[in-house]
Amino acid sequence: MGEVLKIEHLSKSYEDIKVLDDISISVKAGEVLVIVGPSGCGKSTLLRCINGLEDIQDGKVSIEGRTGMVFQSYDLFPHMSVLQNLMLAPLKVQKRRKDEVKKEAEAMLERVGLSSKKNNYPRQLSGGQKQRVAIVRALIMHPEVLLFDEVTAALDPEMVREVLDVILDLAKQNKTMLIVTHEMAFARAIADRVIFLEGGKIIEDTSPAQFFDDPRTERAKKFLSTFEYEKVHE
């Protein structure tokens, strides 16, 4: 399988502060990359650079096809129904046929367990339901690479699972994904590869087994010791 995303020597600064420092990553089709690291280490900035939301000072990002991004805040349009939210970009941006887009939106809602909510407005949905709609909104644009930035961080604990299950289902469908998360049990279960960032640099780029069982660096050990993920999820 070929590479769908290649990041070469990417550096990014805000004013004179370097927040990403010589980042190189390549991602193959169907690969799931989990990015972890302490707050402020540059995870969101990295996803935003990949998605073209930020200009970069050095290096290069090459993507085969489109990216779709899902954020911590779902940002659905409040005055539009679920179905209208989903259909907006495919109709306006991609100029696709309405009947075809509607059919696809309904099928995708079914897959995430939200068929009955298609005519509801965002305010009538729980946080977990809104986040699942936001994931469908990204998927319906048929991106080559999906980027998830702490999509469960703002959810009540009982809604985290339903959103993570949707992402696990996407992994089963061989979607290429970059996932920033603090859910360590989930990270371990879904990752093909884990990248540990600190201070804008890649400290580890390794397998989940290696990273979680036997991290090479003291920094990663220290970071992992702040989570009690095994106890919590068993």
Which residues here bind ligand ADP, judged by CB under 6 A? 14, 19, 37, 39-45
Residue 44 in the binding site for Mg ion (CB under 5 A): yes
Nearer to ligand ADP, 30 or 38 (CB): 38
Residue 45 in the binding site for Mg ion (CB under 5 A): no
Nearer to ligand ADP, 2 or 14 (CB): 14
In whole angstroms, what is the distance from residue 186 CA to residue 223 CA? 16
Structural tokens at position 88: 């907006």
**Least CB distance to ligand ADP at residue 85 (A):** 25
**What are the φ and ψ backbone dihedral angles of 170, each rounded to 5 degrees?**
-65, -35
Give how far Cα 31 sits from Cα of 83, 142, 167, 177, Å: 30, 16, 13, 7
Nearer to ligand ADP, 44 or 67 (CB): 44
Start-to-end CA distance of the chain, whole Å, equals 35
Region binding Mg ion by CB under 5 A among candidate stretches 37-45, 110-118, 155-163, 185-193: 37-45
Residues numbered 180 to 219 that lie near Mg ion (CB under 5 A) are none
Report DSSP state, residue 39: T
Give the residue ranges of DSSP H helices in the chain: 43-50, 82-92, 98-111, 127-139, 157-172, 184-190, 208-213, 218-224, 229-233
**Least CB distance to ligand ADP at residue 189 (A):** 22
Region binding Mg ion by CB under 5 A among candidate stretches 3-11, 42-50, 81-89, 186-194: 42-50
Nearer to Mg ion, 43 or 130 (CB): 43
17, containing H or E segment: strand 17-28
Residue 2 binds which entry of ligand ADP, Mg ion, none, with Cβ cut-offs from 5 to 8 Å by kind? none
Contact positions toward Mg ion, by CB under 5 A? 43-44
